[in-house]
Amino acid sequence: MQTDWQLQEARNNLSQLIRQAVAGDTQVVTVHGRPAAVEVSTEDYARLTGRGGGKLSAALLNLDIAGDELAGRPMPVMDGLLMACAQCRGLTVVTRNVQDFEPFPRIFNPWGL
């Protein structure tokens, strides 16, 4: 569930706003009627940004690093290690080799510009 707050209202009711965000309800703060900020729980933030702060070993053992797109698809060992490191730390993979990293959601090819 999402709740919208005007900035002044959010400032006056910050404790309530945070409690609702921790409970899993997205809180949107508006300025002059336009959304300006979003408050979510730390768990939701980590999930949405990929910044789980986990260990590399956990990412390597997690078969769902890039979802079902990798199922049954062989990947070079070094590419797998790079992707696991990036996933674990919430980083973007910067590479010209976009084919091997295509399933990874955070990839950037500066040579393709």
* pLDDT tier for residue 8 given thresholds of 50, 70 and 90: very high
The CATH homologous superfamily to which domain 2-45 belongs is YefM-like domain (3.40.1620.10)
> Over 90: is that where the pLDDT of 12 sits?
yes
Both tokens of 68, joined, read 């079902």
The gap between the terminal CA atoms of the chain, to the nearest Å, is 39
**Which residues in the chain are classed under CATH 3.40.1620.10?**
2-45
Report how far residue 47's alpha carbon sits from residue 88's, in angstroms, rounded to the nearest whole number: 11
- State mean pLDDT over 89-103: 81
pLDDT in tens, 45-92: 777 766 655 555 555 555 454 455 555 667 777 777 788 778 777 788
